[in-house]
Structure 1
Amino acid sequence: MASSEARREGRDESPEERADRRWNELLQEVRVAQTGVQILFGFLLTVVFTPQFHLLGPTDKAIYVVTVLLGAATTGALVGPVSFHRLVTGHRLKPQTVAWASRMTLLGVVLLLATVASALTLILRIAMHNTAVPWVVGGLVTWLVLCWFGLPMWARHRYAEKD
C-alpha cells in the first residue's frame, strides 16, 4: 500500500521540499513570461512618443490606452509573485506563497492574452485598414488560447491517473 501511495503522490518529498520544488518551477515560468511582457510593454510605452501617434483616430488611441493599461496590469501580475515571496519570506508560508504566486502567474498569462489581442488589434487596424482585422485577431487569439490553456487542460484530463 505504501508504494501505491508514493506512486499517487509522484515523488517522495516532504511538504516543504514540494513547496521549494514548485517555487523553483514557478520562478522559471515567470522568468519566461516576464521577459516577453517587459519587451512588449517597453515597446508600447514608446509608441505615444512617435510622430505618427498623433495621426491616429480616437478609436485607435483608445485601443492604445487600453493596451498600455493591460500591459501594466500584466506586468503587475507577473512581478507580483516576486514581491509576495519577498514580503513573506521567513514566515513559514512557502506552500501558501506558491499557491498565491501560481494564481498571480495564471492571472498574468490571462492578462497577457488580453494585451496581445489588444496590441494585435491596434497594429492590424493600422496595417490592414479592412474588415478582416477582427477575424485575424480572433484566429490568433484562438490559437493562443489553444496553446496556453487548451492543450494543457486536455493533457491534464487525458493523462490524469484513474483511481
Structure 2
Amino acid sequence: MNERPDGYTHRMTAQEQRRGRDETEEERADRMWGELIQEVRVAQTGVQILFGFLMTVVFQPKYSTLATTDQVIYIVTVVLGACATGALIGPVSLHRLVSGHRVKPQAVRLASRLTLIGLVLLLVTMTSSLLLILRVATHDGYVPYLVAAVVAWYLVGWYGLPLWARRRYSSRSDD
C-alpha cells in the first residue's frame, strides 16, 4: 500500500511492484557505476592500508627469525594483497580507458566482476594476514580454529547475508 499525496492509500498492483525504476539502460549504467565506485572506495582503502603494512614487515629485524613456513605465508600474503589491490583499482582504470566510447553498461559489468574478484582476493589476503600474525604472536594450536572462525564470519557478512537478501527480496533476476 502506498499513501498518495492527497492522503488516500493506493494498493499497488503486482505489475507496479515489479516494475522498479523507470530508467534507460544508460541511466541504469550511470546509477550502477556510481554505486560501484562508492563500494570500491571502501574496499580500496582497506586493501591499500593492509598492503602498505605488509610491505613494511620484510624490513623488520624479526622477519629474518621467522620460520620458513611463516616466511612463505608472508610472501603469499603480499602477492595476494598486490593482486587484491590491482583488482580493486582496476575499475577506475577501466572507466578511464573506455569513458566516452559508449560502452558504459558493458564497463559496469566488467568493473563489477573485477570488484568481486578483488573482494575474494581481499578475503584471502586478510585470512592469510591473520594466520601469519596469530602464528607469530602465539604458537598455540587454537590458531587455525580462530582463523577459521573469522573466515566464517567474513563469509557470512560478505557473501552469505547479501546472497540470502538477494534471493529473499529480489524481484528481478538481472540485478
TM-score tier (shorter)? over 0.9
Decide whether the 8 Å contact of 1:6 with 1:12 is kept in 2: no
Distance in structure 1 (CA, Å) of the matches to 2:166 and 2:103: 27
Regions of 4+ moved over 6 Å:
none
Letter in 2 for 1:31: R
Find out whether 1:65 has 2:75 as its counterpart. Answer: yes
Distance in structure 2 (CA, Å) of the matches to 1:67 and 1:9: 45
Structure 1 residues 16 and 7, CA gap change in structure 2 (3 angstroms): farther
Q: Equivalent residue of 1:161, what SS?
A: coil
Find out whether 1:132 has 2:142 as its counterpart. Answer: yes
TM-score scaled by length of structure 1: 0.94
In the other structure, the counterpart of 2:129 is 119
In the other structure, the counterpart of 2:88 is 78
1:112-148 Cα offsets, whole Å, 9 max, x none, are 0000000000000011101111100000000000000
Letter in 1 for 2:102: R
In the other structure, the counterpart of 1:25 is 35
In the other structure, the counterpart of 1:38 is 48
Decide whether the 8 Å contact of 1:19 with 1:94 is kept in 2: yes
Decide whether the 8 Å contact of 1:74 with 1:109 is kept in 2: yes
Task: Using the TM superposition, give the Cα deviation of residue 5 of structure 1 relative to its aligned residue in structure 2, in angstroms.
Answer: 5.4
CA root-mean-square deviation: 1.6
Structure possessing the higher radius of gyration over alpha carbons: 2
Distance in structure 2 (CA, Å) of the matches to 1:137 and 1:9: 44
User: Aligned residues: percent identity?
Assistant: 62
1:42-95 Cα offsets, whole Å, 9 max, x none, are 000000001111110110000000000000000010000011111111110000
Query: Any unmatched runs of 5+ in structure 2?
Result: 1-12
